[in-house]
Amino acid sequence: PGGDGLSWATAHSNLDLGIDAAAARVNSDIAGLEQIEIWIAEGTYVPQRRQDSANARTATFTMQAHTTLLGGFAGTETTLVERKARDWRANVTIIDGGRRPDGAPAVLVEAGTQNTVDGFTVRGGAALPEPGWPVGVLCRDTASPTVIRCTLDGAGVWCQAGSSARILESSSGPN
């Protein structure tokens, strides 16, 4: 881990770097790519990057347009056939805001269109006094993600005005 993210052997050292690399590929339009997939192996991923460097509560994963996050990999798959056979129930992949009173108000922020979040447990969004909502996935601006095969554990999907989300084959736990 700590490499270019093009194989399991050269995986990024954290999910923030993988999301950044995907955004850079979309922005540079390498080979006319329309959608970038990030394959994520089982484990727990906590956002490191803060929106406000002085405030730990602002650490969140922020997806840009045309990005698909796929969880549930064992970390050995290399082919599209293996991709389709991944087992997100057995290879639990957790996106976690930290489950602390001062945790991130949203664990995963959707900032673009045509995003997909598939095969994750999303937990640990904080219920802050202002605005006072526990959020796992926050849809900003005109974001329109698809959330599929996810467990929203103690946090839901919050769509701000102008945004929307499709939620398929997912469940939510106690809020």
**Is residue 125 within 8 Å of residue 136, measured between CB atoms?**
yes
pLDDT at residue 172, rounded to an integer: 79
Phi, then psi, of 81 in degrees rounded to 5: -65, -45
Give the C-alpha separation, 160 to 117, whole Å. 18
Q: What is the pTM of this model?
A: 0.84
- Find the radius of gyration of the CA atoms of the chain: 15
CB 101 within 8 A of CB 126: yes
11-57: pLDDT as tens digits: 988 898 888 888 777 766 655 657 788 999 999 998 877 777 777 66
Q: What is the rounded average pLDDT of the residues 167-171?
A: 87
